[in-house]
Amino acid sequence: MGWYLGYIIVYFLIMFGIGFYYFLKVKSADDYLIGGWSMGFWPIVGTVISTWCGASVFIGTVGLGFQVGASGYIRFSLASVIFTLILILAFGRALRRQRLYTLADLFGQRFGVRVGIIPSLLSAVVYSIPTTAMQYLAMSTIWSACFGMEIHAALILSALLVLAFTVLGGLPGTIVTDALQAVLIVAGIIILAVAAVSLAGGMGPMLAATPPEFLSPSGPYGAKEVAMFFISVGPFYLVWQSSWQRIFAAKSEKVSLNANTLGVLICCGVFVCPILIGLSARQFLPADINPDLIFSTVTRDLLPPYVGGLIYCALLAALVTGADSFILQGSSNLTHDFYRQLINPKADNKRLMLVSRLTVALVALAALWVAFNFTGIIAIYQWALRLTATTIVLPFLATMLWRRLTRAGVLAGMLGGLISTLVWPYLGISFDQTLFGFIFSALGVFGVSLVTRHHPEEHVAAVLWEDLPTATQR
């Protein structure tokens, strides 16, 4: 316990020191929420790595490696990497050039501010809150495993620590600490992978003892199941606002493109480690273990405290950086898309800073409530990914590529994807839910646009090639 406590105290002293520095330095809402569009290369690389390597990697992907083997990499890790690289390489320069704040801001600037309400609500409520709650729950397992803390007290401690740091530093504090934490996170997951493989007898014996279907890309359930999971998960990463914020925050288009690409490629390699941990754990843990407990079991019970403490600290770093990123995502939606655009367009900087910090507290406390009251948060998270993808992906692609897209068409596409995905469970059909939602979104986007005219509030443009007014006015 002494090693654990020592690592954690040092970690939080450094975190809050940096957070307090940026509390004194950050003077505008633009700096607080989007880093003033001024962050450099290595801070962006670090924050990409740290944001990606949260609970889903340390806990979820380890569990996938245990349950389905190598195919877990394809169905989740590779899917997220491929679609994020498409976002960065195909659309990153154009998005950075527009000087936007949020995903919803793109739709608001192109079609009128009210069109941004649906994506803003999805981002702030449907995605940010349950995803932050996941980080709290994962953090609570650290306090319970290391110090025997009761679950409700552990959840409250997790929320208070994350809230305090996020209120202090905003996005600049998050990005700078992320750059430092990236080293700790990558080192931690690699050390744990090496330790797990060693406990399994070494790489050769571990692979030889693993059933062939767990080493196959198609996995134990077949290629179709892997492909459908890939399609369900991957498209969401085209509209994942955490990636968008890192694209926006860079100081230039070149830095945005190169730093985000390098960060994602590093993650592509790092994501092999949790699969190896899961595969190795099959050799020395019982087959009926809860997959979500594999990480903590290996760290606490099978590693010496001076190594286990470092691993726990790496997990803590991943969870804190994930939580504050998701809180800031929701806060930027509420502050910019609702308050600044719809409620008080003339708000001065002092008022916007106050609202930014209040909405940070609102999202953080709402996530704590979710963590207290819902047990199936992983299922809620998967549902949020699916719902966001079917509602937003096709309207986003059409906004970037198709000048003929109308306000009525983009709204019909959003509502078509949203409603069809929500009603699918009640229809009793075997057709894939995600594909079902995409079909109705496409009918709305293209069908309605072809029979309607542009609204007077629209700024007609295919944004990949034509700039919005914000490119020169902000």
User: According to the model, what pLDDT value does residue 137 have?
Assistant: 86
Residue in 387, 404, 386 with CA at minimum distance from that of residue 446: 404
The DSSP 8-state label assigned to residue 39 in this structure reads B
pLDDT at 71 over 90: yes
Residue in 361, 472, 439, 471 with CA at minimum distance from that of residue 97: 471
Residue in 66, 1, 23 with CA at minimum distance from that of residue 276: 66
DSSP of 339-392: IIIII-TT--HHHHHHHHHHHHHHHHHHHHHHHHH-S-HHHHHHHHHHHHHHHH
Dist. CA 442–CA 409, nearest whole Å: 9
**Residue carrying the six token digits 């009640």:** 426
* pLDDT tens digits for range 279-310: 999 999 998 888 877 888 888 877 888 888 88
Residue 346: pLDDT band with limits 50, 70, 90: confident
Mean pLDDT check: name the lowest of 30-39, 108-117, 184-193, 209-218.
Answer: 30-39
Top pLDDT among 40 and 467 is at 467
* pLDDT tens digits for range 330-345: 988 898 888 888 888 8
Mean pLDDT check: name the lowest of 25-29, 87-91, 106-110.
Answer: 25-29
Helix (H, G, I), strand (E, B) or coil at 14: helix
pLDDT at 377 over 90: no
Cβ atoms 359, 334 nearer than 8 A: yes
Residue 28: pLDDT band with limits 50, 70, 90: low
User: According to the model, what pLDDT value does residue 276 have?
Assistant: 95
- Over range 250-270, report the average pLDDT: 93
User: According to the model, what pLDDT value does residue 348 have?
Assistant: 84
**Residue carrying the six token digits 């989007």:** 34
Q: Which residues contact 171 (CB under 8 A, 6 or more apart)?
A: 31, 32, 33, 34, 35, 245, 249, 328
Cα atoms found within 13 Å of the Cα of residue 404, Cβ hemisphere only:
8
User: According to the model, what pLDDT value does residue 167 have?
Assistant: 80
Dist. CA 102–CA 40, nearest whole Å: 20
Dist. CA 239–CA 33, nearest whole Å: 18
* pLDDT tens digits for range 385-426: 889 999 999 999 999 999 999 999 999 999 999 999 999 989
Dist. CA 446–CA 77, nearest whole Å: 31
Mean pLDDT check: name the lowest of 285-294, 318-327, 373-382.
Answer: 373-382
* pLDDT tens digits for range 177-221: 777 778 888 888 898 899 999 999 999 999 999 999 999 999 999
User: According to the model, what pLDDT value does residue 171 have?
Assistant: 63
Question: What would the 3-class secondary structure string for 242-275 be?
Answer: HHHHHHHHECCHHHHHHHHHHHHHHHHHHCHHHH
- Over range 98-119, report the average pLDDT: 90
Amino acid at site 449: S
